[in-house]
Structure 1
Amino acid sequence: MKASEIRKAFLDFFQERGHTTVKSSSLIPHDDPTLLFTNAGMVQFKRAFLGEERRPYSRATTSQKCMRAGGKHNDLENVGRTARHHTFFEMLGNFSFGDYFKREAIEYAWIFLTEVMGLPKDKLYATIHEGDSLMNLGPDEDAREYWKRYLPAERILTFPTKDNFWSMGDTGPCGPCSEILIDQGEAMGCGRADCRPGCDCDRYLELWNLVFMQFNRKEDGTLEPLPKPSIDTGMGLERIAAVIQKVPSNYDTDLFAPMRTRIAELSGYHYGTKAEKDVSVKVIADHSRAAAFLIGDGILPSNEGRGYVLRRVIRRALRHGRFLGQDKPFLHDVVVSVMEAMRDAYPELLENKSYITRVILNEEERFNETLDHGLGLLQNEIKQLQQEGKKTIPGALIFKLYDTFGFPIDIITDMARDLSLEVDEAEFQQLMEKQREQSRMHWKGSGEREVSEAYRHLSAQGVTVRFLGYESLDAESRVLALVREGKSIQEAEAGSTIEVVVAETPFYGAAGGQVGDVGEIAFPSGRVVVSDTLKLPGDLIVHVGKVEGGSLKVGEQVRLKVDSVARKDTALHHTATHILHAVLRSVLGDHVKQAGSLVGPDRLRFDFTHFTAVTPEELAEIEKRVNDEIRTNEDLQVHVMDLEEALKTGAMALFEEKYGDRVRMVEIPGFSRELCGGTHTHRTGDIGLFVIVQEMGIAAGVRRIEALAGRHALAYLRKHRGILQDVAGLLKTSPADVAERVEKLIAQQKQLEKELEAFKASLASKRSADLLERAEDVGGVKVLVTRVETDNPKALRDLNDRFKERLKSGVIVLGAAQGGKVFLLVGVTQDTTSRIHAGNLIKEIVKVVGGSGGGRPDMAQAGGNQPEKLEDALDLAAKLIREKLA
């Protein structure tokens, strides 16, 4: 069976048994601020397992995209060296949220593996939890009894807590687990006589982990039974494919065949010829998958967080490409084979081909320059070590190359081995651990808002808020909850800042880049002035505001009224972002993707992927086309449909959004289709006017446009027209002739500056000649020690150069004071440095003016903060010079 057939068979098997097939969530864990990446199938269901969210189903099955590189789960350095390690992989899973438990989970797993996959029953083993006295738990006898229906007792093995007990965290749902292993035969083993299940070799391979979540771990560490025990399972698609296809490594499966073929076409090296080069093929194949999926989910290479992991993955692949003779960009080409191989399960990769390949090509071009520079640096350092007779490359150098240029230690080790040098791996590892610790300290999570206990409790009760704001801006409703500082309260008095949850609301909760609505909530004895509205997971809309007059109670009837002016202005800006997005793709290319946005009543900010600065001509064309589309005055059409149906229409889906099965598509007929839950104008003409305020780069490959729409755009133009008229008045010309008049003034200014510089040079030359007359002859050496009038160190250097040229041979000490600061310079001609060292001399004299400094034998500069002692410093300089030259 092909891997795609295994994936389908798995999902079909569980769907036939009442499970809802749930689409893989993003590699960015939107509802979990603690995780770097989605690293297991249960991540998207975490809140359901915790009882914080109710799903419309109690059984689910998925094939989940997972990433383990960075953070606690870091398999990066093992990739390519083993048969099973990956950065990106797919995890097949089935889940029960308080529905079935151990018996069914074990039964389903057995039937799927033996009857659907056809695995030999006599080669399968199961492990169970042996118990733990510290947790007051005995062996998992329930699981043992269920396994006895399928396996003999000798193939049901007990393992300790570290292997067979799973926890979601330090507290919360947890429970024993049961792993299913397969004996792949002696040929896959380590050859040791005592090789048995639990050995690190590949003979007894773990296929599937069944987690029985039956306890809740409390703060004090004690376990209490969950009212509704649940099931969470995970089986790596790559592993089961390798077993079914009877190959020794995951990399030998059909999942990696297209990448292996493309690498061979590009490099001329065929997998299976040489072990060390095979490692490079595996790394490139694995990392090309990771890069494609990470970029496809909206992550871009950067120097922190997820972007840093992506950059490391790409650079590691490129470095292994060098081992195969690839010194030009190639990874963007290999990635296309990933898209084509995964097109059935993940069609969005191929749909975003231009964007993904452009991001990778841009990173390749940047890194190739960096890599060449790093190799040159390494070669120079090695040459220096050899000249000094040293035999070890310092760990600090290895770390610098690793951290700055993306060099894994093995490239340095290889070069060292060829030159009979050692490497200080111990120091390198110490620095690596220090960096990891700093990364852990600085990791702020995924940026998701931490949901307070009060809202988790509401979600667990199945509370949702119905949004009425598409049709109306005011409504009556009932207060469901009041929250202050994360805690539920029953009543809020005047003057208090609170959060209000009602049954239904016209207020839009901030989402998709659009800010939350403002307005008021009126009740019989007063009102709440709403300053913001938030949207939380589980369809909760929260109104943030201050109570003015009276007191508000839970259960009270209220009237909600949105600020209609702010809402209308926000809608104008939101519709303008949709038009801008389409125009950017038209003008700059289809690699452009939205990478973030802010849509408010007073402005819009639009971040997008693009790899060069947008030219003034392009910006003018973009602004023109947006306004052209506004003037078409097209009706906006809104369609609510299934996600898959919407994507088939070509609708744009945004990276930062998490979509359900039903979505809202906003269409400007013949121009733009986007999945969007925001509020919009009825017609494009309602926007009136669009003005770009500025364009800038904010990260590698990401640009930003800030713009205004509607009355704010008009106010901007009026303001700048007024400024232009004022400038024209000052220049005594018309606004139309301002540019020409300014050009003439600039030309005049440049001419005057040129004449002034010539005069200054003439004056300086005369002054220099006057100062040189003060030079003394000390022991046959010309010495000039003098105070000069200047306000910057550069001027001192210019004078020093001029004096040296005139003196030909001698010592110069210059001092200046300005604004409470002292500037000192010592200059010594080359023939005199053996008698006077400029750096040593300045160290002595600068102490007088309360400073410090130093420099080369021929020139040194320093500064102090006691200008009243400048003459004393110069007198000391003259005295020291006489002593040395006497």
Structure 2
Amino acid sequence: MKSQDIRKAYLNFFESKGHLIVPSAPIVLKDDPTLMFNNSGMAQFKEYFLGNGTPKSPRIADTQKCLRVSGKHNDLEDVGFDTYHHTMFEMLGNWSFGDYFKKEALAWAWEFLTEVLKLDKDRLYVSVFEGNPAENVPFDQEAFDIWKQYVSEDRIILGNKKDNFWEMGDQGPCGPCSEIHIDLRTEAERNAVSGRDLVNADHPQVVEIWNNVFMEFNRKADGSLEKLPAQHVDTGMGFERLCMAMQNVTSNYDTDVFTPLIAKVEEITGLKYTSNDAMTSRDLSIQEEQNKTNIAIRVIVDHVRAVAFAIADGQLPSNTGAGYVIRRILRRAIRYGFTFLGTKEPFINKLVEVLANQMGEFFPEIKSQQQLVTNVIREEEASFLRTLEQGLQLLDKVVAETSGKEVSGEKVFELYDTFGFPKDLTALILKEKGYSFNETEFETELQKQKARSRAASEVTTDDWKVLIDGNVETFVGYDQTENNVKITRIRKVDSKKDGVLYQIVLNATPFYPEGGGQVGDKGTLVSANETIEIIDTKKENNLILHFAKQLPENIEAGFVAKVNTDLRTSTSKNHSATHLMHLALRNILGTHVEQKGSLVNPNYLRFDFSHFSKVSNEELRQVEASVNQQIEAQLQLVEHRNIPIKEALDKGAMALFGEKYGDNVRMIEFGESKELCGGIHVKNTADIWHFKIVSEGAVAAGIRRVEAITGDAVKDFYTSQENTLAEIKEVLKNPQDVLKSVASLQDDNAKLKKQLEQLVKEKIEGLKNTLVTDFQEINGIQFLAKQVDLSMSSTKDLAQAIGTSKPNAFVFLASVEDNVPNIHCYISKGLVAEKGLNAGNVIRELGKLIDGNGGGQPFFASGKGKNMNGIAAALEKAVEFIK
């Protein structure tokens, strides 16, 4: 069966068992602050397991795009070295929310594998939880008895907590699980060693394909377990591994999930991928080289899937958060191509077309966003290849400054941490040069960084204290900014970053939680005796969380929840203006424009969108004018709440890629602007007052960013501009024509600059002729150390000019510019080669005397510092380098 047929067979089977088939959620999570990416099939259903929402159906099935870069078995640095772990993968899942349990889940799993797919029963093993007396969790007798109906007892394996007890996190729903493993080895191998002994032993052909999790418990903050009020089933089957089993191959990469991508890499590079089974050469060196090629190709075809789907879902590569993870994955792929496949030009972007053709039918986002994904990856490739080139130059410099044959591990870590230069690439290049590096020092620095990162993100969360049972929490903020409320639950959260905060949940809150680019509301909770400040509002697992630095003394009292209306009003103006600008951009630049991200807060709005070139000043003026025309038209807000998504789309509403929409949605209309949106808006566009773009620029290839302001911020902007103009006029003695006066000043300045440059050249030439006579010959070296009265750049020019005028010259010059001392060293290239002198070392050493530092190349280097009094000592000490 082809992979597409296997996917369809699974979904059709569970649809026949009464399951509602739902689409995959985006791979990038935008409404769960505890996760960057959808890392499992159950992530989009967390709120149901926690009891904070009601699913569309008690039975659901899907295939979920997942992304994992750390955790059990698949740290990013290991992906590609084996044949069955991935960064991005599909998880086939069937779910029961308080409906069926172990009996049905295990029976259907067995039926699907053995009767629908007709997998060999003699190759299958199952596992059940052996129990944990320390946590008062018994052996899973029920699952064991169910499996005895289908397999002999010698095929039922008892698993420990690590392998057969699943937990959502340190706290929350959890329970025993029962896995199904398949043995894909040859008959001879299976006769020699029982597959039972290889289960959970990381054997590449004895792998887990299906995990049935039975959520029975809730893990509390103190580690204890309590029974959940309802029992749930959460299953996950690795799609790629299932394809491996069905297509009679021993590697995921030999399935048709990956072979089209591998074929494209072979076509581009001219190199061949060879499966492990096909490697027949007895020459170990040939096998070793082929294995390096294989690993590189596996890395690339795995990573391009993760990166492409993340970008299609709205996550661009960047230097922070989820964007940094995506950039890191892509750079790892680029680096493997660069090092092992000889690819010095961007090529990974060419795989996107293959991926889109292969998976676009089931995941339409990869097809519709194909051009954008291709452009972003191409630009990232070009950028990182330039970084690799810079890294090679930096590495050459590090080698030149190293005495002996071992490079400092700290220096290698600096290359890795600051410039993204991979450790293994550094090791490879150093080996070619006859060098190595201190790995212990590198690991020490790496562990320090990880410790800093862990400390910064360390969070301790208490259990919820529930005051009012049941799903009673509602949002009333579209209609009210003030409401009488009761607290339904509270918990304390202690983090290194924010300190101790309290999360408060209200029964009927007017506070808007952060989402859709809009920041969360701030405000107060007021009772008869006290006022509690709410500093932020967020949403997690369908609960609206109000953050406070302190709890009310009486948490059971009644409160009035009051939103800060000044902040809310300013935010709503910016949010509505974002919609108007989106329409204007599409009308003026073209319908290819799509929103790719936004930030809406009280001070300004930020809007990222797809567009292939810089937006011209004239186009920006047209966009501004269009938005302000819509403001002046006094367009009334038309709000459609809780309407079917199909009806909204039929009305012309825009849906954004990467957003998760329910069956019913909220639609916002201002004239021709129609968007699906959950945010807060003005009642009439006239409330915005005015719209002003303050900046436009690139975010990534094919992605532009506009920042703009509205309302009072525009008034402040124009007031500031007016004040600045008045100050300029005053400085210019109040000319009638300010522009003409400024242009005249620029012309005068340009003329004076040319005259000054000529005078400086003449001064440098005069000093050069004077200083030539001050050279001293020491040990066959022409030595000069002087302080001169020049700017830093002119001193640098003089050092080079005077140095090249003498053979075997060692020139050390110092000067002061704006009370900042600077030093420069020129050493003839012959002395660098013959005597091992290094200008960079000279500057670093003598720079300490002026409380500064610097660097450069072995024949020329510069530096600056803070202590002018140290210049004399530096000039005196320079001679020691040649004595």
CA distance 1:459–1:192, change in 2 (3 Å): farther
Indicate whether 1:435 and 2:442 are aligned: no
Q: Give yes or no for the alignment of 1:571 onto 2:572.
A: yes
Mapped contact 1:128–1:157 kept (Cα < 8 A)? yes
Query: What is the aligned partner in structure 1 of residue 744 from structure 2?
Result: 744
Q: How does 1:712-731 map to 2 (within 5 A)?
A: 712-728=713-729, 730-731=731-732
Aligned twin of 2:140: 140
- Residue by residue over 1:713-770, the C-alpha shift from the partner in whole angstroms, topping out at 9 and shown as x without a partner, is 24423442343345345535667x3222201112123334444565677778888889
**1:250 to 2:258 alignment:** no
Structure 2 counterpart of 1:479: 486
**Secondary structure of residue in 2 paired with 1:239:** helix
Find the counterpart in structure 1 of residue 241 from structure 2: 239
Distance 1:751 1:376, change over 3 A: closer
1:504 correspondence with 2:508: yes
Match of 2:359 among 315, 333, 342: 342
Q: How does 1:285-364 map to 2 (within 5 A)?
A: 285-318=301-334, 328-364=345-381
Matching residue's letter, 2:74: N
Aligned match of 1:69: 69
Q: d(CA) in 2 for partners of 1:153 and 1:746?
A: 91
Aligned to 2:94: 94
State which of 536, 540, 559 in structure 2 corresponds to 1:537: 540
Contact 1:498 1:544 (8 Å CA) reproduced: yes
Question: Hey, what's the Cα distance between the residues in 1 that align with 2:266 and 2:855?
Answer: 58
Pairing partner for 1:514 from 506, 510, 518: 518
Alignment of 1:11 onto 2:27:
no
Contact 2:599–2:605 (CA under 8 A) maintained in structure 1: yes
Q: 2:382 aligns with which of 365, 369, 388?
A: 365
Q: 1:651–1:4: structure 2 CA closer, same or farther, 3 Å change rule? A: farther
Query: CA deviation digits over 1:131-156, x for unaligned, max 9?
Result: 45655666432222111222222332
Q: Are the aligned partners of 1:54 and 1:460 in contact in 2 as well (CA < 8 Å)?
A: no
Partner residue of 1:494? none
In 2, Cα distance between equivalents of 1:43 and 1:186? 37
Structure 2 vs 1, CA of residues 778 and 205 (structure 1 numbering), >3 Å: closer, same or farther?
Answer: closer
**Which residue number corresponds to residue 664 of structure 1?**
666
Displacement of 1:296: 1.8
CA contact (8 A) 2:184 2:250 kept: no
Q: Structure 1 residues 132 and 542 mapped into 2: Cα distance closer, same or farther (>3 Å)?
A: closer
How many percent of aligned residue pairs carry the same amino acid? 39
* More displaced stretch, 288-297 vs 535-544: 535-544
Deviations 1:147-204 (A, max 9, x none): 1222222332334444333334455544332222334462595784455452544554
For residue 178 of structure 1, give the secondary structure of its aligned residue in structure 2.
strand
Deviation at 1:235, TM superposition (A): 0.6
- In structure 1, C-alpha distance between the alignment counterparts of 2:768 and 2:415, rounded to whole Å: 49
Within 5 Å, give how 1:403-802 maps onto structure 2: 409=424, 431=442, 435=446, 438-439=449-450, 441-442=452-453, 453-454=463-464, 457=466, 461-467=470-476, 469-470=477-478, 472-473=479-480, 476-481=483-488, 502-517=506-521, 525=528, 528=531, 534-541=537-544, 554=556, 556=558, 558=560, 566-584=567-585, 594-608=595-609, 616-630=617-631, 634=635, 636-639=637-640, 640-643=642-645, 646=648, 651-654=653-656, 658-668=660-670, 670=672, 672-684=673-685, 686-696=687-697, 704-728=705-729, 730-731=731-732, 737-755=737-755, 794=793, 796-797=795-796
Residue 580 of structure 1 deviates from its aligned partner by: 2.5
1:630-677 Cα offsets, whole Å, 9 max, x none, are 45655554344344665677754457855433222324554x443211
Query: Given that residues 30 and 446 in structure 1 are in contact (C-alpha distance below 8 angstroms), is that contact kept between their aligned partners in structure 2?
Result: no
Distance, in Å, in 2 between the alignment partners of 1:51 and 1:712 is 43
The code of the aligned residue for 1:356 comes to: V
AA at the equivalent of 1:537? E
Residue number among 211, 215, 220 corresponding to 2:213 in the alignment: 211
Distance 2:785 2:729 in 1: 53
Question: Do the aligned partners of 2:522 and 2:564 also contact (CA within 8 Å) in 1?
Answer: yes
Name which of structure 1's ranges 185-194 and 815-824 shifts more when overlaid on structure 2: 815-824
Q: Which range moves more in the overlay, 613-622 or 672-681? A: 613-622
Partners of 1:196 and 1:863 lie apart in 2 by 68
Aligned letter for 1:627? N
Tell me, in whole angstroms, the C-alpha distance in 2 between the residues paired with 1:802 and 1:249: 64
- 5+ residue gaps, structure 1, are 488-496
Change over 3 Å in CA distance of 1:509–1:756 after alignment to 2: same
Cα distance in 2 between the residues matched to 1:443 and 1:481: 32
Q: What SS class does the counterpart of residue 486 from structure 2 fall into?
A: strand
* Residue number in structure 2 paired with 1:493: none
Gaps of 5+ in 2: 280-289, 495-500
Q: Deviations over 1:586-608 (max 9, x none)?
A: 66677765454332344323345
How large is the Cα RMSD of the aligned pairs?
5.6
SS in 2 for 1:291: helix
Contact between 2:379 and 2:700, CA under 8 Å: does it hold in 1? Answer: no
CA distance in 1, matches of 2:779, 2:261: 78
For residues 830 and 675 of structure 1, the distance between their equivalents in structure 2, rounded to whole angstroms, comes to 67
d(CA) in 2 for partners of 1:329, 1:109: 44
User: Aligned letter for 2:472?
Assistant: V
1:159-308 aligned at under 5 Å gives the runs: 159-170=159-170, 172-184=172-184, 186=186, 189=189, 192-196=192-196, 198=198, 200-201=202-203, 204-217=206-219, 225-256=227-258, 258-260=260-262, 262-263=264-265, 276=290, 281-308=297-324
What is the CA-CA distance between 1:91 and the residue it aligns to? 0.7
State whether residues 31 and 515 of structure 2, in contact with CA within 8 Å, keep that contact through their aligned partners in structure 1. Answer: no
- Cα offset, 1:628, TM superposition: 4.8
8 Å contact kept, 2:764–2:794: no
* Equivalent pair of 2:627/2:691 in contact (CA under 8 Å): yes
Alignment of 1:41-52 (within 5 A): 41-51=41-51
Asked whether the equivalents of residues 489 and 506 of structure 2 are also in contact (C-alpha less than 8 Å), the reply is no
**Shift in Å, 1:701:** 7.4
Deviation at 1:130, TM superposition (A): 3.5
How many residues align? The count is 855
Aligned letter for 2:446?
Q
Measure, in 1, the Cα distance between the counterparts of 2:188 and 2:434. 34
| Alignment CA distance shift 1:806-1:717 (3 Å) | same
Query: 237-246 or 718-727: which moved more?
Result: 718-727
In structure 1, the partner of 2:287 is: none
Relative to the length of structure 1, the TM-score reads: 0.77
Measure, in 2, the Cα distance between the counterparts of 1:520 and 1:181.
Answer: 55
The Cα offsets for residues 23-55 of structure 1, whole Å up to 9 and x where unpaired, read as: 433323456545453222223334544556665
Distance in 1 (alpha carbons) for counterparts of 2:814 and 2:803 = 16
SS class of match (2:353): helix
Q: Distance in 2 between matches of 1:428 and 1:66?
A: 33
- What's the secondary structure of 1:74's corresponding residue? coil
1:150 aligns with 2:161: no
- Given that 2:300 and 2:337 are in contact with CA atoms closer than 8 Å, whether structure 1 keeps it comes out as yes
Aligned amino acid, residue 453 of structure 2: H
Please identify the structure whose Cα radius of gyration is greater. 1
Tell me, yes or no, if the aligned pair for 2:467 and 2:487 is still in contact at 8 Å. no
Following TM superposition, by how much is the alpha carbon of 1:626 offset from its aligned partner in structure 2, in angstroms? Answer: 3.5
Distance in 2 between residues matched to 1:846 and 1:266, nearest whole Å = 50
Query: What is the identity, as a one-letter code, of the residue corresponding to 2:508?
Result: E
Whether the aligned pair in 2 keeps the contact of 1:28 and 1:297 (CA below 8 Å) is yes
Distance in 1, Cα, partners of 2:218 & 2:232: 11
